[in-house]
Amino acid sequence: MAAPIRVLTAVPICDGHDSAINTINLEFIRHGIEVVYLGYHRYATDMVRAAIQEDVKALGISSYNGGHVEFFSEVARLLKKQGADYIKLFGGGGGTITGNDEAIMRRNGTDKIFFAGTSLGDMVDYVHQHYSGPHKPFRGRKPSAEMQLARKLTEIEDRYAKGKKGKRPTPAKKIRNPKSEIRNTKVFGFTGPGGAGKTTLIDEIVLRLLHREPKTRIAILSHDPSVVGAGALLGDRATMINSQNERVFMRSMATRGQAGGLSPATEDCLTLLAESGFDYVIIETVGTGQEAMPFQTGLVHKTVLVMNPDYGSRLQLQKIVMLDLADIVVVNKSDQERARTAISEIGRRLDQNKGSQILVSTVANRHRDAGVDKLCDLLTEDG
Amino acid sequence: MSKLGQVVEAVENYNEFVLKEVKRARTDKVFGQQMVDRWNDVKAKTPIGTAPTGLKLPRLALPEIDEAGEITRYLLGEGLPGEFPFTGGAYREMYLEPLGEQAAGSSGKDGKNGKNGHTRNGKNVARVAASKPVEVEEPTRLFSGLGLAEDTNERFHFLTGHQRSARLSTAFDGPTLYGIDSDAGGVFGKIGEGGLAIDTYEDMVRLYDGFDMGSPAFSASMTISGPAPIIMAMYIAAAKKRFGSRVVPNLRGTIQADIFKEVQAQNETIFPTEASLRFLCDMIEWTTREMPRWYPVSISGYHIGEAGATPVQQAAYTVSNGFAYAEMLAARGIPVDQFGPRLSFFLDCGLDVEYIALARVSRRIWAIGMRDVFGAGPKGQMFKLHTQTSGRSLVAAEFKNNLTRTAAELMLAYMNGTNSCHSNSADEPFTTPSEEWIRLAAHGQAILLDESGIFKHTMNMLSGSPGMKAVERAVEVAMLEEFRQIESFGGVLPAIEHRYQRSQIQNAAHRYEEQIYDGTRPIIALTKYNDLKDEMPEVKMVRTPRAKKQLQVDRLAIFKKKNAEKSKRALDKLAEVVESGKNCFPTLIEAVEVCSLGQITGRLQEIVGHFRPMV
């Protein structure tokens, strides 16, 4: 089977009109396309960085607030400047984009504008016809280390998609800043049920790491489920506002039919990232149930289980295997009423294990939360 | 149970109460006679007006009923316009032509032709009318904003030059809506597009130049939510600069400031929800005390509707958001009769059948909830409404059809007794309206209200029909069901955190698009009668030239340079007050005199963080 088409979609800076793009995203994923969604109110630089890291075939922009000629042209210019114009630029803006505008935008590097009245089906067809097929090798200028790493990740994913057994990839060129103080890459694995706040928590950890260590470089491997027999909406970037940073390499992966919260290609991809010279590599599973440990031992230095205080009865707790295996258990949303009970129940459960597991309570969506500070300390301290 | 759950109970209790009273009127002779007497009294006191053709009409049309039970059902269940539960309208006479104008020529004839007490009343009315100001404000309020402050100022003068009153409605550009300065990297192309650029309170001075901001015939509406407290502070600072401190209590207008709908649908919010709500409540607390004629929040369904919600979702989320604000303000200890009358609403009006009665049902639910759950007096029970015709219903293909779409929506909006109204321009699928099309949009309202006799002579001209009643009942049931869903999360805020409203809106939007292309929703000239050759129409595009954008950036640089030292101190003071938890609005009014919008947003975000978008 051919690998699904991956595209990135986004809405420009100072524009919150996401109704059209949400509808288009839904239609795309129903027709087998994997959509990395960056969200609304996004800078051109963030879009271009994300498109390169995600190694998408095309970048789609939905603009309704005016200034589209300038914005599309800026994105096209940045793609070209970085030698990444193998990523095709498309978009629309209902009736706000005129025929004259389109002519200028196309001249400046936009591949396709969908005018007002284009049906969803026509858009899906266009993407299938023009953005499918294998990636072409880089042409011309030497590709950046980030581009090469992104492409290697694509190759691993595609190999699994074609049903071929993974061959251990050769490490990409190290892109670590040589001046970095940290010698060894630390790998953290985050898992837990859907809605517990894993994505927000990781983004808050990233914010702190970037602040504390002015040269640190971080990679994030994030997972979202594939729709059965179809595409996937990879939406973590939209939530991870602090991770859209030039010192962060982020890659979104669809599970592509594998249960357990990860993709068939995850292990190889993680190995590659761990060997690519980042100070920290953070991996996030999709929302998991009561399965066993999703991470292979040895690959991840610290595993974090993020819990929602609303897990149900104590009996449910006994069934969560990860509670025995995680190094750190986080009760997030600890400002909720139910949290006090949750903390004491989970605490007792961890005591039974008699291990060195640590329980932390956080409110990830609270700015400057002390619990998240503590979690960050625990992750970065040696041992 | 949150207050919303109590509202559901209150509406159900009220409906039961009405049924019981209907029964009582039929069984209890004395009570039944009281209701009949009241009914006859209302009818007797209803003035008679005369249409230009000479036709006589009562100024309030009432159903032809004379049985005590039915009279009770009408008076309690629907109520007279301007009376609880306000189904027909927040006020008694809404758009009726002031009687003075017609009474002069017709009262004598009334005297001769009148029967059953009308003679006496014709005279009474003439007296009443004489004691009442004849010059009421027009409900027309057109949303505008383009380029820089001076360009929008010019548009304001163009729009209101022929009106008795200046009712302005201000649209801001993207950077302003997101609290960003025009000199920020990557936003140059957005300056003055889709609205006007405001960076400093000096821009605000330019924006309303030539208007008497303290006059009772002037009111300004500002459509902005994320940075609303900062923009409100700039408005106050600009008014003080031009007219002195004494103008502040006289300021009239509305600022949208609706954080809930931003998080649910429109996405123009800049601080985490909790912090945004705190800044908002600081502003409401201050303005409801110091500016008693200002509406500091316009609880808006328009953007919820435009983002794809069904009409019932739109109304249910909007009204429930209103109750959530009321709950927060009451919890702060602000008296309900201080804030209640200062809450106003804003709904979308499209072409779906629900719009026949959407605002009528919303008004009724709001009145019952505010009276029975929050203990508000009559002014706090009134659901005061601005309506905008649906932008989403406008189509680029053969766009002149949009005139008809907007006209039909206007008709629905006025049938619903909206207090003010914006009619969209036909060219809006393409551009900020050009003068040609915005003029036609304004004329559309005048044709309905001034030229036609539909709304001039009689209240209840169309309400009470079996069809409208049927829609009302179905919409009320559906809205209460939505309230129960929201309540099942624990109220509006917890439902927002669970993405309930967002996901419902997104699903509805997707279904709407599917229905367009599967033929369920024919769109004329797009999916039906679309035989004309597909050509891009010649539309005059309103865009902001580069030189103007640069002018805005340059002006901002001068302001920042001039206030470099003072702004630092002002921001430090603001930060201190925000950290202390005290009401920060008074400090904000001082800060805007020396700080730009972006400087203040940036400093506040350092303290409270950024909004994390919900997908």
Give CB contacts under 8 A, 24+ apart, made by B80-83.
B80/B42, B81/B417, B81/B459, B81/B460
Taking the Cβ of residue A67 and every Cβ of chain B, the question of whether any pair is shorter than 8 Å is answered with yes
In eight-state DSSP terms, residue B264 is: I
Strands (E), A134-268: 186-191, 218-224, 232-234, 248-254
Q: Which residues share a beta bridge with B347?
A: B387
CB contact under 8 A, B272 and A67: no
pLDDT at B119: 34
Mutate to test the interface with B, among A9, A13, A14 (most CBs of B within 10 A): A14
Considering A1-15, B91-105, B128-142, B474-488, the range whose residues carry the highest mean pLDDT is B474-488
CATH number of B143-450+471-518: 3.20.20.240
Domain ranges of chain A: 6-130, 186-380
CB contact under 8 A, B539 and A13: no
CB contact under 8 A, A41 and B272: no
Phi, psi for B26 (deg, rounded to 5): -85, -25
pLDDT at A289: 66
User: In the CATH scheme, what is the homologous superfamily, with its name and number, of domain A186-380?
Assistant: P-loop containing nucleotide triphosphate hydrolases (3.40.50.300)
pLDDT above 90: residue A131? yes
Separation in Å, CA of B593 to nearest CA in chain A: 25
Mutate to test the interface with A, among B267, B300, B502, B505 (most CBs of A within 10 A): B267
* Token representation of residue B101: 């104008």
Residues B342-380 have pLDDT tens digits of: 999 999 999 999 999 999 999 999 999 999 999 999 999
Taking Cα atoms as reference points, which of B86, B8, B1 lies closest to residue B369? B8
Residue ranges of A 196-225 with Cβ closer than 8 A to chain B: 200, 203
Taking the Cβ of residue B506 and every Cβ of chain A, the question of whether any pair is shorter than 8 Å is answered with yes
Residue of B266, B609, B614 with shortest CB distance to A367: B609
pLDDT at B134: 42
Taking the Cβ of residue B494 and every Cβ of chain A, the question of whether any pair is shorter than 8 Å is answered with no
Q: What is the mean pLDDT of chain A?
A: 89
Q: For the packed helices B466-488 and B311-331, what is the interaxial angle rounded to 10 degrees?
A: 50
Q: Tell me which chain B residues have a C-beta less than 8 angstroms from the C-beta of A26.
A: 506, 510
pTM: 0.88
CATH number of A6-130: 3.40.50.280
Q: Tell me which chain A residues have a C-beta less than 8 angstroms from the C-beta of B300.
A: none
Which has the higher per-residue pLDDT, B137 or A17?
A: A17
Q: Least CA distance to A42: which residue of chain B? A: B186
Q: Least CA distance to B544: which residue of chain A? A: A67
Check if the interface score ipTM surpasses 0.95.
no
pLDDT above 70: residue B114? no
Taking the Cβ of residue A26 and every Cβ of chain B, the question of whether any pair is shorter than 8 Å is answered with yes
Residues B117-143 have pLDDT tens digits of: 333 333 333 333 333 344 567 776 677
CB contact under 8 A, B543 and A66: yes
Do A193 and A311 meet the contact criterion of CB atoms below 8 Å apart? yes
DSSP secondary structure string for all residues of A202-235: HHHHHHHHHHHSTT--EEEEEEEPBPTTS-EEE-
Q: Tell me which chain B residues have a C-beta less than 8 angstroms from the C-beta of A69.
A: 189
In total, the C-beta contacts within 8 angstroms joining chain A to chain B are: 129
Taking the Cβ of residue B541 and every Cβ of chain A, the question of whether any pair is shorter than 8 Å is answered with yes
CB contact under 8 A, A37 and B615: yes
* Token representation of residue A223: 């997972």
Identify the band that residue A180 occupies on the pLDDT scale cut at 50, 70 and 90: very low
Q: What is the mean pLDDT of residues B381-397?
A: 95
Domain ranges of chain B: 3-78+99-131, 143-450+471-518
